[in-house]
Copies of this chain bind each other. A is one copy, B any other.
Amino acid sequence: MFVEKLKNSARKNRSLVCVGLDFDPEKAGETFRKDPLGFNRMVIDATIDIVCCYKPNSAFYEVLGRKGIEALEKTIEYIDGRVPVILDAKRGDIGNTSSAYAKAAFEILGADAVTIAPYMGFDSVLPFLEYPDRGVFVLCLTSNPGSADFQRFESNGHPLFIHVAKKCNEWAQDKNPNIGLVVGATQADMASVRAVTSLPFLVPGVGAQGGDLKAAITAGYANGFAVINSSRNIIFPAGTGDAAPRVRAAALSLREEILTILQSGGLYL
């Protein structure tokens, strides 16, 4: 069961930190410029006991061609189930095509969960739910400017993202409880999603993209569960010299910040 595995990992490492493994040759430094697997191993070794999960974004490996896909495969192999891996791929297609994407993510790459786009509806999600031990996070509300274009499209006083959250709730009850939602943005928006579902949230946008950590905890984790993603701020930390201790310090700092907010809100892991 993916969601249980995620919660167990959070408890064990006392951490809601999800580290985004978004390799960038321009920022990886001379040692790792051409070595995404080596870079990821460095980040993993520096953080695996203090994070809840890892989230590689497929785009940053696809852009490196076949060698990138190999590095992604081997990164997940290297993590080897020690903490869950969410493949951020935002896939969405139908029927046998969707089945092929699910097989690629879960069987070929070996991810524990994958992010999914909701636009094509239930039959685009279903093939992923047929893996009882794996999970999906469905895009619900994101924090980029373009989220206003369609996600906030209103009908009967409710924006589309609330409709998506409710549908995912139904699917979780009917088909497979291992569904979560990608929810970013403000405290008010996050609270409005939490009001209609207790499904786990994957919260992007903390760190390089801005975002409000306290909102993510008090409106996202409370009455449900949430993991907080940070990518560039952790894997490309400021400063010079050996990267590993700086990466660890950045992850520890976010972990502590979250633990402090949890404690001050009377919440616990």
Q: Chain B residues near A160: list those with CB within 8 A.
A: 150, 153, 160
- Binary CB contact string for chain A from 64 to 77 against chain B (1 if under 8 A, 0 otherwise): 11100110010000
Q: Chain B residues near A212: list those with CB within 8 A.
A: none
CA gap between A92 and B95 in the complex, in Å: 19
Q: Chain B residues near A108: list those with CB within 8 A.
A: 62-65
Interface: A164 (CB within 8 A): yes
Asked whether, in the complex, the Cβ of B93 is within 8 Å of the Cβ of A91, the reply is no
Asked whether, in the complex, the Cβ of B163 is within 8 Å of the Cβ of A147, the reply is no
Asked whether, in the complex, the Cβ of A117 is within 8 Å of the Cβ of B101, the reply is no
Interface: A240 (CB within 8 A): no
Which of B93, B139, B164 is A120 in contact with, Cβ under 8 Å?
B139
This chain's copy number in the assembly = 2
A171 to B, closest residue via Cβ: B149
Q: Chain B residues near A24: list those with CB within 8 A.
A: 96
How many chain A residues touch the partner (CB < 8 A)? 55
Stretch at the interface among A9-17, A121-129, A218-226: A121-129
Which of B63, B64, B97, B146 is A124 in contact with, Cβ under 8 Å?
B146
Which of B66, B88, B139, B144 is A95 in contact with, Cβ under 8 Å?
B144
CA gap between A24 and B124 in the complex, in Å: 19
Interface: A60 (CB within 8 A): yes
Q: Chain B residues near A112: list those with CB within 8 A.
A: none
Asked whether, in the complex, the Cβ of B151 is within 8 Å of the Cβ of A153, the reply is no
Pairs A-B, 7 closest by C-beta atoms: A121-B146, A121-B149, A59-B100, A62-B104, A123-B146, A63-B100, A122-B146
